[in-house]
Amino acid sequence: MKNIAVRLWNNQMLGTTYGKGLRRQAYFNGTVQIAIPPTKYLIDLEPILSWFHHAKSPNHLKMLKDLNIQPVNDPNILMSWIIRYEDGVKTPVDGLCCYDYTNNTILVRIKDQASKIEEEWELSVKACLNRTPGKPTPNLIATNYELEKVSV
């Protein structure tokens, strides 16, 4: 199993508009980082119905059809599509992320042929302390390995 770290930040833009009749629905913005090969993904965790209707890339539409996913309105679950972030370019990949408030767990499923990653992780989520004033610190973190400590 590959080493993974998921970092989540509260979305400061939640509820604001970005177009006529369009509102930002993501409760958390986050990153998913794989250690080897070094790969970074972006996630926006939002309610299931919003997530379902934000499937626009062919990869994500194909996933909905292949997995026969039907939206269920569960207020305790947030979902996200997986987007690879490489050199400023965002590329949708086969993958999804599911954060369950009741169990405080996050499920990450990635099938990225370009990065040769095809795995699934279930991790427990923990709160982060803001130790360095003025430095952005995630609100929540989930990982399966020991992260390096950053000195101040």
Over its length of 152 residues, how does the chain's per-residue pLDDT go in tens digits?
889 999 999 888 887 777 776 677 888 999 999 988 899 999 999 998 888 888 888 888 888 888 777 778 888 999 999 999 999 999 999 999 999 989 999 999 999 998 999 999 999 999 987 767 777 788 999 998 876 654 44
pLDDT at 151 (0 to 100) = 41
pLDDT at 66 (0 to 100) = 82
pLDDT at 77 (0 to 100) = 93
Burial (Cβ within 10 Å: 0-12, 13-18, ≥19) of residue 107:
middle
Q: Does the global pTM surpass 0.85? A: yes
Structure-block tokens of residue 123: 């991790």
Burial (Cβ within 10 Å: 0-12, 13-18, ≥19) of residue 22:
exposed
**According to the 3-state scheme, what is the secondary structure of 66-97?**
HHCCCCCCCCCEEEEEEEEEECCEEEEEEEEE
- What letter would DSSP give residue 52? H
